[in-house]
């Protein structure tokens, strides 16, 4: 890459590849705003890539649009790699995340994956980091069926920046709760009272969980009385609703997904209701507008973002995937569905023509380390 400045008396060439590292760093700080910019920046030459790696610890990009982590079938069946689907460009990136074949990804939280291996060992794994990207966790208290004892996990803070993190897990056939504090030797179970949990979130310095009936539980990991029911469930006309909780613009939302059973042991989502918690009265009230926010909903993670900050992101909509039908090999696909909360309509588009084989897609908020691998 060259810039030619010509005057009447002389011609001068400036080779951008030879720019001092502090100038390259300044350029990246001022002009690069998202992960795609950094991909192109790091691919220019080795000196620019080196500048990025050396200053990786101090970079702080704005929050990125979640990507959909797809299965190994997108990498010619390589079981150690996963692809990412970019919503804004509607394409699969041609790089791969390195995830060992014996690790099954259960959820994502703050860029980390909660995984379990074939020996029932639990790990935190960050596929976007170059080094120190795996944390061993103790075995969970008990499990009832191999391969399904860990349902989901959520972090209180990012272990990269906060050594005093806590992991809250939904586990066992009872969908019970247990938490692990960094440095502990074992998980702490919340007991049999708080079971049949479907989703959990870290909100305003404590964990909140929602059970199959929509009841919200507050969980204080620093108290011996560490759980209390704080809200009655929203009224439903039947029992085919699945509850999620997500923080949006500082509010706690309960998102209820209505599904109907279809052939071959699959279900299809037909609508959503969204409720906001009145933290004073401990009551829910339904909302039909997200205030310009967009929700990304999944059994593995749920995220809320301001749509106007992300080109191609539709406001007042819920982006979701169907997690259950991936067992059906014949027509399981990577479909992304968008529910418009105001119009009560669902739009479906296909991320890729590849078939899903035992790998549910996962929403994940990407960071930069993965894109500058040598």
Per residue in 39-48, pLDDT (tens digit) is: 667 667 777 7
Decide: helix, strand or coil at residue 120.
coil
Q: What is the pLDDT of residue 207?
A: 95
Q: Where do we find the tokens 């949006």?
A: 248
| Token representation of residue 336 | 């992304």
Range 216-230 average pLDDT: 81
Q: Is the pLDDT of residue 145 over 50?
A: no
C-alpha dist (Å) from residue 141 to 9, 169, 180 = 79, 11, 11
For the segment 314-340, the average pLDDT, to the nearest whole number, is 74
**Residue 32 predicted with pLDDT over 80:** no
Residue 63 has pLDDT above 50, yes or no: yes
Give the SS3 label for residue 201. strand
Give the pLDDT of residue 202: 96
Give the lowest-confidence range in 50-64, 141-155, 184-198, 335-349.
50-64
- Whole-structure pTM value: 0.81
pLDDT at 76: 60
Residue 17 has what pLDDT?
A: 72
Tell me what pLDDT residue 146 has.
Answer: 40
Q: What is the C-alpha to C-alpha distance for residues 258 and 264, in angstroms, rounded to an integer? A: 19
User: Distance between CA 52 and CA 161 in Å, rounded?
Assistant: 19
Residue 79 has pLDDT above 80, yes or no: no
Q: Is the pLDDT of residue 112 over 80?
A: yes
pLDDT of residue 371: 46
Report the pLDDT averaged over residues 260-265: 72
SS3 187: coil
């Amino acid at each position: 890459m060259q810039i030619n400045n010509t005057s009447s008396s002389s011609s001068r060439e400036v080779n951008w590849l030879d720019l001092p590292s502090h100038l390259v760093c300044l350029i990246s700080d001022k002009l690069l705003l998202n992960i795609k910019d950094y991909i192109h920046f790091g691919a220019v030459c080795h000196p620019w890539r080196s500048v990025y790696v050396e200053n990786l610890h101090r970079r702080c990009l704005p929050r990125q649009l979640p990507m959909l982590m797809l299965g190994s079938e997108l990498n010619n069946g390589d079981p150690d790699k996963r692809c990412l689907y970019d919503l804004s460009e509607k394409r699969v990136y041609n790089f791969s995340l390195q995830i060992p074949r014996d690790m099954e990804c259960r959820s994502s939280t703050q860029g980390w994956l909660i995984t379990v291996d074939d020996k029932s060992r639990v790990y935190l794994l960050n596929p976007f980091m170059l080094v120190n990207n795996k944390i061993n966790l103790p075995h969970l208290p008990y499990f009832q069926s191999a391969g399904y004892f860990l349902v989901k996990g959520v972090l209180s803070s990012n272990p990269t920046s906060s050594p005093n993190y806590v992991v809250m897990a939904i586990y066992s056939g009872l969908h019970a709760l247990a938490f692990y504090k960094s440095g502990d030797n074992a998980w702490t179970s919340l007991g049999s009272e708080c079971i049949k949990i479907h989703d959990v979130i870290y909100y305003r310095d404590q964990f909140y969980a929602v059970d199959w009936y929509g009841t919200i539980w507050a969980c204080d990991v620093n108290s011996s009385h560490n759980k209390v029911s704080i809200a009655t469930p929203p009224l439903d006309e039947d029992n085919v609703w699945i509850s999620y909780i997500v923080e949006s613009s500082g509010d706690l939302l309960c998102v209820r997904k209505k599904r109907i059973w279809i052939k071959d042991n699959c279900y299809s989502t037909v609508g959503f209701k969204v409720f906001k918690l009145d933290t004073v009265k401990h009551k829910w009230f339904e909302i039909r507008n997200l205030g310009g926010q967009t929700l990304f909903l999944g059994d593995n993670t749920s995220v809320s973002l301001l749509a106007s900050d992300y080109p191609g992101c539709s406001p007042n909509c819920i982006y979701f995937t169907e997690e259950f039908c991936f067992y059906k090999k014949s027509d399981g696909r990577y479909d992304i569905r968008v529910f418009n909360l105001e119009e009560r309509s669902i739009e479906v588009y296909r991320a890729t023509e590849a078939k899903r084989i035992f790998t549910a897609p996962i929403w994940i908020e990407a960071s930069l380390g993965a894109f500058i691998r040598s």
